[in-house]
């Protein structure tokens, strides 16, 4: 098991949101490290249950939880997403559905939903 306090972020590949999410975890949750599992528009892929993407994300999440001891998994949506160009409201619904998919995997970790807004601030959608 890796040393340090880890969290997991299932996040968009968009580099604009990475730092905001990492800083949020460090400041708000006291994490030292954040494993980033990235895909373009991952909340859409999870919410719509894209089989290949879901399995890839599940395997990576498993490594983070089981090998790094991550106790918290965040499913993240964001403003101006090129991989999921839908409204904030639609993304919030996708986050809720994506959380249910991630929870169904049965990992021993809390699953939360985050949204990075147009000011690049992290908002808690569901905790």
pLDDT tens profile 10-27: 999 999 999 999 999 999
If you average pLDDT over residues 27-36, what whole number do you get? 97
Q: Which domains does the chain have, with CATH numbers?
A: 6-126 (3.40.1050.10)
Separation CA 85–CA 62 (nearest Å): 28
Sheet holding 110-116, edge to edge: 33-39, 6-12, 72-78, 110-116, 122-126
DSSP symbols for 94-105:
HHHHHHHHHHHT
pLDDT digits (tens, 9 = 90+) for 58-106: 999 999 999 999 999 999 999 999 999 999 999 999 999 999 999 999 9
- The pLDDT value given to residue 2: 74
User: What SS3 state is found at 111?
Assistant: strand
């Amino acid at each position: 098991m890796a040393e340090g306090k880890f969290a997991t972020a299932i996040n968009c590949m968009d580099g604009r949101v990475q730092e905001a999410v990492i800083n949020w975890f460090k400041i708000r949750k006291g994490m030292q490290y954040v494993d980033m599992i990235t895909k373009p528009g991952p909340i859409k892929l999870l919410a719509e249950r894209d089989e290949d993407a879901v399995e890839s994300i599940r395997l990576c999440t498993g490594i983070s939880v089981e090998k790094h001891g991550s106790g918290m998994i965040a499913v993240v949506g964001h403003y101006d997403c090129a991989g999921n160009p839908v409204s904030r409201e639609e993304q919030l619904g996708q986050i809720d559905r994506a959380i249910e998919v991630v929870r169904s995997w049965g990992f021993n970790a809390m699953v939360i939903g985050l949204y990075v807004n147009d000011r690049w601030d992290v908002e808690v959608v569901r905790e």
